């Protein structure tokens, strides 16, 4: 399983140092939550920030994973691909041409992911599964860091894993995003997650980044 710290709750005044600390502690997956203030109420950052962070991640052999929580994501895919992303995920709720989006991402040399909100049924992404590299299952309602994990997400993760097997893509990566911490991480892993996004579980005022990552790794 990969731990994928989100920088959303990091200290942006010390962002490079905080990322260096995480990489030194063994992290090899960088999750970038891109918010536009329309699809979700919050605003975070865009391709320019991703471009500035990508070389740092590459020096450590880390995956650069952009999670686009934005309306009309097709308008920005090329910019995020050029910024150095390895994975680009868009929300199935944010576009009417999801399959075209997947083709666009793959055509730009990136790995394609699709994300979906807690209330969105698995059937909305079923036809896309054979063409994807990653599925992002939201275990909170997107828009803010530090939210509580929705318990029913565990059953949904398990159903998604079985659906991937049934559709002939058992190696498709399942990423779980939202509210994952040391107390629920074992259940999330057992349900079938391959990648877990951890934001406030790593970047928080109670513990150092190194200690927080060590606690997750130990679990």
The predicted pLDDT at position 190 comes to 97
What is the C-alpha separation between 171 and 217, in angstroms, rounded?
22
Percent share of the chain, pLDDT over 90: 94
Whole-number pLDDT of residue 191 = 97
Give CA 81 to chain center in angstroms. 16
Q: Write the CB contacts of 65 (distance below 8 Å, at least 6 apart in sequence).
A: 4, 29, 30, 31, 32, 85, 86, 87, 89, 113, 134, 175
Q: Tell me whether residue 17 is one of the annotated catalytic residues.
A: no
Q: Which of 17, 33, 86, 211 is catalytic?
A: 33
What's the whole-number mean pLDDT along residues 122-130? 96
Strands (E), 70-209: 87-91, 111-116, 134-138, 173-177, 195-198
Flag whether pLDDT at 23 surpasses 90. Answer: yes
The pTM of the full predicted model, rounded to 2 decimals, is 0.95
What is the average pLDDT across 59-76? 97
Active-site residue flag, 194:
no
The superfamily (CATH) of domain 2-218 is Aldolase class I (3.20.20.70)
Is the pLDDT assigned to residue 144 strictly greater than 90? Answer: no
| Sequence ranges of the binding site for a divalent metal cation | 31, 33, 67, 177
Average pLDDT of 105-126?
Answer: 97
- In whole angstroms, what is the distance from residue 133 CA to residue 88 CA? 10
Exactly one of 36, 65, 86, 177 is catalytic; name it: 177
Q: Where are the domains of the chain?
A: 2-218
**pLDDT-based confidence at 142, cuts 50/70/90?**
confident
């Amino acid at each position: 399983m990969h731990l994928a710290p989100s920088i959303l709750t990091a200290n942006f005044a010390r962002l490079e140092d905080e990322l260096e600390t995480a990489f030194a502690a063994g992290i090899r997956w960088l999750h970038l939550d891109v918010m536009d203030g329309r699809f979700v109420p919050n605003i975070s950052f865009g391709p320019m920030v991703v471009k500035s962070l990508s070389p740092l991640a590459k020096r450590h052999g880390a995956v650069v994973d952009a999670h686009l929580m934005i309306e009309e994501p097709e308008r920005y895919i090329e910019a995020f691909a050029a910024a150095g992303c390895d994975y680009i995920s868009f929300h199935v709720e944010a576009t009417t041409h999801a399959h075209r989006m997947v083709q666009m991402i793959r055509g730009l040399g990136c790995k394609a992911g699709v994300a979906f909100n807690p209330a969105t049924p698995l059937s909305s992404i079923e036809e896309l599964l054979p063409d994807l590299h990653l599925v992002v299952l939201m275990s909170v309602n997107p828009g803010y860091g530090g939210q509580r994990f929705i318990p029913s997400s565990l059953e949904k993760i398990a159903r998604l894993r079985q659906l991937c097997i049934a559709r002939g893509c058992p190696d498709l990566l399942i990423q779980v995003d939202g509210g994952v911490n040391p107390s629920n991480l074992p259940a999330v892993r057992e349900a079938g997650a391959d990648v877990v996004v951890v934001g406030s579980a790593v970047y928080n005022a109670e513990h150092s980044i190194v200690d927080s990552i060590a606690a997750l790794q130990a679990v």
